[in-house]
């Protein structure tokens, strides 16, 4: 999986928060695009059992963005900032010959483990067989749970997650390093390390970095 842009864990968190705020709905096999009648027809042909049993509900989602559990994550990788839309690219759908379903992504992930060993890192993905969500910190998860739920926020400990993983193709940075990256992308300091050294001397440096980075973008990439 070639990573052209730098996709980060904090960028993933902001993306799934955007999906939550915008009330994205769940339709099996969809990737975050605005649902149309033609997309429903296409998905009926691909996944007749999953679509037809919820067809009456799914039709009420026309005009809204829809996604399924793992495609909520992939929609971050597919998001085109210029077009403000999802643009499908197979390189984020298949990795090392494995289709990136919820189970496939877990199979190929290099860093993963049982849920009771999960590091407290926002953007870590959590899963149980056939399903996946995104840990956003503070004991909370955002997941595309199902047709009757859509994209929702749940408590980590209240759902039957069995494992965690770092999603392939996403760079996992700590929060301050991610803030520095956003700042540098927007300012372009000739000597960023000199700037960080100066800021780090301040007792509220962490808060400064967060406020500074947030001033540039609500959805860091």
- pLDDT at position 5 is 55
DSSP secondary structure letter of residue 171: B
- pLDDT at position 94 is 93
Domain boundaries, the chain: 9-165, 175-214
Q: In this predicted structure, which of 5-14, 53-62, 77-86 has the lowest mean pLDDT?
A: 5-14
pLDDT at 26 over 90: yes
pTM confidence score: 0.81
How large is the average pLDDT for residues 7-31?
A: 95
Which H/E stretch holds residue 48? helix 48-52
Q: Please tell me whether residue 101 adopts helix, strand or coil conformation.
A: coil
- pLDDT at position 4 is 39
**CA distance linking residue 178 with residue 169, whole number of Å:** 16
pLDDT at 54 over 60: yes
Residue 76 burial (CB < 10 Å; 0-12/13-18/19+)? buried
> Strand 98-99 relative to strand 112-114: parallel, antiparallel, unpaired?
unpaired
How large is the average pLDDT for residues 112-138?
A: 96
pLDDT at 41 over 70: yes
Q: What are phi and psi of 100, to 5 degrees?
A: -85, 65
Mean pLDDT score across all residues of the chain: 92
How large is the average pLDDT for residues 90-102?
A: 93
- pLDDT at position 204 is 86
Contact 192, 180 (CB under 8 A): yes
164: its two tokens: 């965690």
Provide, rounded to the nearest whole percent, the portion of the chain with pLDDT above 70.
95
pLDDT at 1 over 50: no
**What size, in residues, is the chain?**
221
Q: Please tell me whether residue 182 adopts helix, strand or coil conformation.
A: helix
> Strand 112-114 relative to strand 150-155: parallel, antiparallel, unpaired?
unpaired
Q: In this predicted structure, which of 55-59, 100-104, 150-154, 212-216 has the lowest mean pLDDT?
A: 212-216
88: its two tokens: 């499908």
Say whether domain 9-165 belongs to CATH 3.90.1720.10.
Answer: yes
What is the CA angle 68-103-8, rounded to 5? 70
Question: In sequence order, what are the beta bridge partners of 44?
Answer: none
């Amino acid at each position: 999986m070639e990573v052209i842009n730098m996709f980060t864990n904090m960028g993933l968190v902001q993306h799934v928060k955007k999906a939550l705020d915008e009330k994205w709905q769940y339709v099996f096999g969809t990737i975050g695009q605005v649902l149309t009648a033609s997309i429903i027809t296409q998905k009926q042909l691909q996944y007749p059992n999953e679509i037809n049993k919820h067809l009456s509900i799914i039709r009420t989602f026309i005009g809204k963005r829809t996604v399924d559990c793992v495609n909520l994550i992939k929609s971050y990788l597919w998001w085109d900032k210029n077009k403000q839309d999802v643009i499908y690219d197979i390189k984020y759908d298949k990795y090392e010959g494995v289709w990136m379903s919820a189970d496939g992504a877990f199979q190929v992930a290099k860093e993963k483990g049982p849920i009771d060993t999960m590091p407290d890192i926002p953007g870590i993905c959590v899963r149980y067989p056939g399903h996946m969500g995104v840990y956003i910190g503070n004991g909370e998860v955002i997941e595309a749970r199902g047709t009757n739920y859509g994209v929702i926020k749940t408590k980590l400990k209240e759902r039957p997650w069995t494992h965690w993983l770092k999603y392939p193709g996403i760079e996992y940075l700590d929060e301050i390093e991610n803030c520095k990256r956003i700042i540098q992308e927007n300012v372009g300091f000739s000597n960023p390390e000199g700037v960080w050294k100066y800021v780090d001397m301040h007792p509220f440096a962490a808060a400064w970095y967060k406020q500074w980075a947030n001033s540039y973008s609500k959805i860091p990439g």
